Amino acid sequence: MFELLGIPPQALFGQLLLGLINGAFYAMLSLGLAIIFGLLNIINFTHGAQYMMGAFVAWMLLNYLGINYWWALLLVPIIVGAFGIVIERLLISRLYHLDHLYGLLLTFGLALIIQGLFRNYYGISGLPYSIPPQLAGGQNLGFMFLPNYRGWVVAASLVVCIGTWFVIEKTRLGAYLRAATENPTLVGAFGINVPRMITLTYGFGVGLAAFAGVLAAPIYSVNPNMGADLIIVVFAVVVIGGMGSILGAIVTGFGLGLVEGLTRVFYPEGSAVVIFVIMAIVLLIKPAGLFGRTA
Amino acid sequence: MRKTGFLLASLAASLIATTALADTAVKIGVLNDRSGIYADVAGEGSVIAARMAVEDFGAADKGITVEIVSADHQNKPDVGVNIARQWYDQDGVDLIVDVPTSSVALAVNEITREKNKIFMNSGAATSDLTGAQCSPNTIHWTYDTWQLAHGTGSAMVENGGKSWFFVTADYAFGHALERDTSEVVKAAGGEVVGSVRTPFPGTDFSSFLLQAQSSGAQVIGLANAGGDTINSIKQASEFGITQGGQALAGLLVFISDIHALGLQTAQGLVLTESFYWDLSDQTREWSQRFGEKNGGKMPTMVQAGVYSSVLHYLKAVEATGGKETEALMAKMKEMPTDDPLFGKGVVRADGRKTHDSYLFRVKKPEDSKGPWDYYETVSTIPADKAFRPLDQGECPLVK
């Protein structure tokens, strides 16, 4: 049988597809980070905790209020996003005039507090959350069995990522956002409420993380550390893509998912570090990231 | 470090007892993971279990004053060793119990021997504690990798699972579990068709599971623990691996993991444990009391083991009338063990505590009567068969 580097091509396609699915999560999370960094200049270390909150709030809605997965997809980003807005107004907004480092420390501390609270209340092992019945089962693609839910994850994240990119790059609202990133004082002088725009942007970025959390709940363990495990990788994705670059975050998110998927076939032991190796190489060759602009 | 000072002897009791009994004061340190992946397996529940042992034993009435302290070793050997050293040198701790995470347990094993104190391990898996690294100061109480590998491994092969593929966490514990189980599988006439080493800790196991699926093996052995196991089982169910006829064997699964997975996902999984709350009237009664103190969560075998080990220690303190290490260790090995949770057993010369071991199968959702009603017993492995034979462990204490 025809083989590619010792692996049957069918197995390879399967692994590439799985890589793409993981990439979908990287893309959604790094997109939120990139937007927040781009506009607020805040390195949002709370992002992982907000992703975790997304999964937990979905669980709470189901178990306390009987609200199903589909409503959770809509409601959870709004609830967690609102929480993000409160955090931004109360705490983060006080740090804009200071160095990046302070924002990083604040958000990192917040992440630890949020994780600690959830751990204290719900324990560390996690909570069960089932795949919605409409998406149970899967398709036999010939080269692999694709669970319907994974297909849905890729589709949903592509729609969200492309939609976000479109709004920011192609609409008037996006133009204001981009202008405010460049020069907030000047944009303010044109009568645009820049602080409110910043607050809403933070809320939107947080909402994206929560959306990813809801998508993750049925397939990954819903536990207080689920975000902490993922966020370091996502930061590497953002650095590779270029800090603050929207398109960079999306493309490198999916791309690195593929690279990681391939590593899992050829050298599984290395699959946890391959992204960081790439990050080191990119930083050496193009410090601003693949899609970043050099200042 | 959190300290839960817990003085049991009431003033009144000690006043009454002044004439008959010389007071012995012992200090027990519960050292475990209070915030990381094993916090639900051990954690605060183990402290509750230790306190219950002191109360149920009636230590105060017997003239024994017991103080319990606890600390978080964060699953790091250096942190664990520092706490143990401070406890032994400065805080006057006589006994350390629990200590999940094999690497930390092995480190505490060494320091306990050096300080000539006593270490009764409930939480760690490595069978080296009673093997090459056995110590005259250590008792390994609840379970170990040999027991798990033999319990689950041989049962699966007997039931027709001849070919195996391992999904192995890429660190010492996972390698040991894979090695031990592979030996069992081969000895029983099965074969190992492949394995994959997964980075620890991991989130997405689908691509490793796909490799396991395409290997065509009858059994996929999960040589991992905690969140890794939960994620693997969750995703195996999603990818229709069990529905496709391949069986999953969880080599280290605790009841808290099943609770996190839910029966819908975990049903049919076969696993080995030393304890389950719903085994007998006695275990139910105790677990009920434990659950009331632990926010409704039923005990894991590790927490039950902490209760049972503290109880045995206090019996030895009572019998010897003091807390001299050699005398206590000799007494604990001489006295047969007997308690409501683990039944009858012995502490062997190599420090291995024996008791019956159980092969469980996770119930289908429709067969479960409610939360925590998760296991049905497939078979009971008697105490003398459940653990590694004394002469095979290469422990220098065994002559």
Residues B314 and B335 both lie in one domain:
yes
From the list A18, A137, A223, which residue is nearest B207 (CB)? A18
Question: What is the mean predicted confidence (pLDDT) over B283-291?
Answer: 97
Inspect the interface and report whether the beta carbons of B260 and A116 lie closer than 8 Å: no
Residues B20 and B105 both lie in one domain:
yes
pLDDT score, position B5 = 44
Residue A112 to chain B, least CA–CA distance (Å):
12
CA atoms within 13 A on the CB side of B91: 21
Does residue A236 sit in helix, strand or coil? helix
B202 pLDDT band (50/70/90 cuts)?
confident
pLDDT score, position B294 = 94
Inspect the interface and report whether the beta carbons of B206 and A272 lie closer than 8 Å: no
Average pLDDT of chain A is 90
Inspect the interface and report whether the beta carbons of B199 and A268 lie closer than 8 Å: yes
Helix (H) or strand (E) holding B257: helix B255-261
pLDDT score, position B347 = 97
* Residue B107 in tokens: 């480190």
Residue A142 has pLDDT above 90, yes or no: no
Closest-CA residue in chain B for A149? B238
Closest-CA residue in chain A for B239? A147
The model's pLDDT over B63-97, given as tens digits with 9 standing for 90+, comes to 999 999 999 999 899 999 999 999 999 999 999 99
Residue A64, Cβ neighbours under 10 Å: how many? 8
C-alpha distances out from residue B267 to A209, B301, B362, Å: 31, 20, 5
Q: Is residue B1 part of a domain?
A: no
Inspect the interface and report whether the beta carbons of A125 and B199 lie closer than 8 Å: no
| Structural domain harbouring B339 | 11-143+279-355
From the list B203, B207, B264, which residue is nearest A229 (CB)? B203
C-alpha distances out from residue B140 to A262, B71, B342, B349, B395, Å: 42, 20, 14, 11, 13
pLDDT score, position B399 = 75
Residues B342 and B371 both lie in one domain:
no
- Which one, of B73, B64, B74, lies nearest residue B26 by Cα? B64
Inspect the interface and report whether the beta carbons of B210 and A11 lie closer than 8 Å: yes
A129 pLDDT band (50/70/90 cuts)?
very high
Residues B313 and B223 both lie in one domain:
no
DSSP A4: B
ipTM passes above 0.90: no
Which is it for the CA torsion A248, A253, A254, A257, positive or negative? positive
Question: What is the mean predicted confidence (pLDDT) over A130-145?
Answer: 87
pLDDT score, position A7 = 67
pTM over 0.80: yes
The model's pLDDT over A144-203, given as tens digits with 9 standing for 90+, comes to 788 999 999 999 999 999 999 999 999 999 999 888 888 888 999 999 999 999 999 999
Q: Give contacts of A271 with chain B, Cβ < 8 Å.
A: 198-199
Average pLDDT of chain B is 91
Residue A282, Cβ neighbours under 10 Å: how many? 20
Question: What is the mean predicted confidence (pLDDT) over A204-227?
Answer: 94
Q: Is residue B397 part of a domain?
A: no
Residues B254 and B283 both lie in one domain:
no
Residue that the structure tokens 């459940």 belong to: B386
Residue B17 has pLDDT above 50, yes or no: no
Inspect the interface and report whether the beta carbons of A128 and B265 lie closer than 8 Å: yes
The model's pLDDT over A25-61, given as tens digits with 9 standing for 90+, comes to 999 999 999 999 888 888 999 999 999 999 999 999 9
Inspect the interface and report whether the beta carbons of B240 and A268 lie closer than 8 Å: no
Which is it for the CA torsion B100, B104, B109, B115, positive or negative? negative
B16 pLDDT band (50/70/90 cuts)?
very low
The Cα–Cα gap between A188 and A190 comes to 5
Q: Is residue B6 part of a domain?
A: no
Closest-CA residue in chain B for A118? B35
Residues B49 and B102 both lie in one domain:
yes
C-alpha distances out from residue A148 to A131, B46, B244, B353, Å: 10, 41, 16, 48
Mutate to test the interface with A, among B204, B254, B255 (most CBs of A within 10 A): B204
| Segments making up each domain of chain A, as ranges | 9-94+144-285
Residue A8 has pLDDT above 90, yes or no: no
For B377, list phi and psi in degrees, rounded to 5. -80, 125
Mutate to test the interface with A, among B33, B34, B168, B207 (most CBs of A within 10 A): B207
Cis peptide bond prior to B199, omega within 30° of 0:
no
B22 pLDDT band (50/70/90 cuts)?
low
Residue B20 has pLDDT above 80, yes or no: no
Domain count, chain B: 2
Between A171 and A125, where is the model more confident?
A171
CATH code, domain with B311: 3.40.50.2300
pLDDT score, position B214 = 86
Residue B138 has pLDDT above 70, yes or no: yes
Question: What is the mean predicted confidence (pLDDT) over B348-366?
Answer: 95
Inspect the interface and report whether the beta carbons of B260 and A221 lie closer than 8 Å: yes
pLDDT score, position B100 = 94
Residue A253 has pLDDT above 70, yes or no: yes
pLDDT score, position B1 = 45
pLDDT score, position B4 = 46
Q: Is residue B111 part of a domain?
A: yes
* Residue B49 in tokens: 């279990």
Question: What is the mean predicted confidence (pLDDT) over B379-389?
Answer: 93
Residue A107 to chain B, least CA–CA distance (Å):
20
CA atoms within 13 A on the CB side of B39: 21
The Cα–Cα gap between B354 and B342 comes to 9
Contact predicate B225/A295, CB 8 Å: no
Residues B262 and B376 both lie in one domain:
yes
pLDDT score, position B19 = 40
The Cα–Cα gap between B290 and B298 comes to 7
Residue B243 has pLDDT above 90, yes or no: no
Residues B363 and B221 both lie in one domain:
yes
Q: Is B258 on the interface with A (CB under 8 A)?
A: no
From the list B41, B208, B235, which residue is nearest A268 (CB)? B208
The model's pLDDT over B250-264, given as tens digits with 9 standing for 90+, comes to 999 999 999 999 998
Residue B188 has pLDDT above 60, yes or no: yes
Question: What is the mean predicted confidence (pLDDT) over A70-77?
Answer: 96
Residues B242 and B314 both lie in one domain:
no
Percent of chain A with pLDDT over 70: 97
Residues B119 and B181 both lie in one domain:
no
Residues B253 and B185 both lie in one domain:
yes
Residues B284 and B335 both lie in one domain:
yes
Q: Give contacts of B202 with chain A, Cβ < 8 Å.
A: 272
A236 pLDDT band (50/70/90 cuts)?
very high
The Cα–Cα gap between B247 and B370 comes to 25
